[in-house]
Amino acid sequence: MSDQREKESFLSFLRQRRHRVTAERLALLDEVFRQHGHIDAEHLLAAARSRGLKISRATVYRNLDLLVASGLARKQRLGRRRYLYEHVHGGQRHDHLVCTVCGRVVEFLSPGIAALQSEICRAHGFVPSAYSLQINGLCQACSHRQAAGGGAPREGGAPRETAAPGDHA
């Protein structure tokens, strides 16, 4: 279940923009916040339907856009052909490693990167409003497979996997 303050924030956002507060919207909000890590719209649709929600693909995309606009979710282009969404936790930030072959996404935290960003902004008198770092390359499994001469699966050919910050899978 989503945090009550976040739910109230989303309801306020919807009302200010004259959007209806529907059971589907509230259920989708709960479903997004029930997920841990990155999710794509298709997985969210499947998860919602598996819980018995009668919801359309268009409704999922429309409401994900509203969650992003409200600041409660973040949409990130990870890889060349797909977008993933994640719940925004206030004050927490992380960066991403994205395998360009299998699509695996690894989140990582680096205080050194945060400090460097602050230093660079301060040196240039710049006030940042958003920040994103994504490193594209080969995960360990695809790198080993490539080095062994075995072809790695083509991009987008394998299920996506998300590792939590600090995991080194």
**What are the φ/ψ torsions at residue 155 (nearest 5 degrees)?**
-55, 135
C-alpha–C-alpha distance, residues 56 and 110, integer Å: 38
**What are the φ/ψ torsions at residue 68 (nearest 5 degrees)?**
-65, -50
C-alpha–C-alpha distance, residues 24 and 60, integer Å: 9
For residue 130, give the nearest of 52, 87, 76, 56 by alpha carbon.
76
- 3-state class of 85 per DSSP? strand
What is the per-residue pLDDT for 142? 92
What is the per-residue pLDDT for 82? 75
Residue whose structure tokens are 């989140």: 107
Q: pLDDT tens per residue, the chain (169 residues)?
A: 457 888 888 899 999 999 999 888 888 888 887 877 778 899 889 988 898 888 899 999 999 999 889 888 888 876 666 788 887 766 567 788 888 888 888 888 888 988 898 999 999 999 987 777 888 899 999 999 988 886 545 444 433 444 444 443 3
- 3-state class of 165 per DSSP? coil
Q: CB of 73 within 8 A of CB of 88?
A: yes
**What are the φ/ψ torsions at residue 12 (nearest 5 degrees)?**
-60, -45
Enter the pTM of the model. 0.64
What is the per-residue pLDDT for 92? 66
Q: Is the dihedral of CA 31, 32, 37, 38 positive or negative?
A: positive
What is the per-residue pLDDT for 162? 46
C-alpha–C-alpha distance, residues 50 and 36, integer Å: 17
All structural domains of the chain, each given as residue ranges with its CATH number in brackets, are 4-87 (1.10.10.10), 95-163 (3.30.1490.190)
Residues 6+ away with beta carbon under 8 Å from 28: 44, 48, 53, 55, 59, 60, 63, 64, 67
